[in-house]
Structure 1
Amino acid sequence: MANRAQIATNNSALIAMIADEDTIVGLLMAGVGNVDLRRKTNYLIVDSKTTVKQIEDAFKEFTTREDIAIVLISQFVANMIRFLVDSYNKPVPAILEIPSKDHPYDPTQDSVLSRVKYLFSAESVASGRR
């Protein structure tokens, strides 16, 4: 355990959000929102006018910012940029797919859950447990 690489932490780590308006408003009311000095927010509201390019750009920005520890993304939005979500493999920021009001959560589409299932099945096969 002592040889494990330490994950750099920041005392002011934020949660970023990419979701529909109702989900974002709920999380903003919970106090998750942030606007920095450059007027950059930690969220993107996705509606019918939002392009896939805007979603991709927000995802890339949030996953490269030093002050973000978790990116919450609605599963229906993650499906629009599935290739980016599936190819992301860094531990921080963590990507979590969440349900939205109009789109229920489907565990078969969640890339993180599928990775966890793969790891546990590989571990159980390697150790002789089934």
Structure 2
Amino acid sequence: ARALKAKPALLTAIIGDEDTITGLLLGGAGNVDGKHSNFLLVRNETPVPEIRERFEEFTSKRTDIGILVINQHIANMIRGDLDDYNKMIPTILEIPSKDHPYNPAKDFIMNKVAKITGQSFD
């Protein structure tokens, strides 16, 4: 009989504000090892190039990420990178934050679905 080799579980990466990071880490989504973590805490002083660099790391360089959760107001800072992203894994999930409401017209996935179905948000 052949032994089945289990694939390692994929992690959820997070790029978010303090409340989002805290909530998801308390929910068990955090992972820190000797090399890296699976989250980026974005504050007002966090430079956009750092956000862009971590987005690139989570979506292109690491193979252990299955989902990237990002606050929509932070995603707006790197919207061009999201618009250019075309892979299925990791899947990108834009979520609202306590201080910034969700806008489906700016959501990366909603725009792709609208384009495919010929819908618009007007």
Task: Output the TM-score relative to the length of structure 1.
Answer: 0.83
In our comparison, the structure showing a higher alpha carbon Rg is: 1
Deviations 1:47-95 (A, max 9, x none): 0110001100000000021000000010000000000011000010011
Mapped to 2, the partners of 1:97 and 1:46 lie a distance apart of 15
Deviations 1:72-128 (A, max 9, x none): 010000000000011000010011110000000000111210111221238xxxxxx
Q: Which residue of 1 aligns with 2:73?
A: 76
Q: Does 1:35 align with 2:32?
A: yes
Question: What's the offset of the Cα at 1:10?
Answer: 4.2
Unaligned runs of 5+ in 1: 1-8, 123-130
Q: Which residue of 2 aligns with 1:54?
A: 50
Mapped to 2, the partners of 1:10 and 1:101 lie a distance apart of 36
* Matched-pair identity in %: 50
Give the RMSD, CA atoms, in angstroms.
1.5
Unaligned runs of 5+ in 2: 1-5
8 A Cα contact 1:10 1:67, kept in partner? no
TM superposition outliers: structure 1 runs of 4+ over 6 Å: none
**3-state secondary structure, aligned to 2:34:** coil
What does 1:1-130 align with in structure 2 at a 5 Å threshold? 10-38=7-35, 40-64=36-60, 65-121=62-118
Matched length: 113
Task: Output the TM-score relative to the length of structure 2.
Answer: 0.88
Q: Which moved more, 1:107-116 or 1:24-33?
A: 107-116
Q: Which residue of 1 aligns with 2:3?
A: none
Question: What's the offset of the Cα at 1:15?
Answer: 0.3
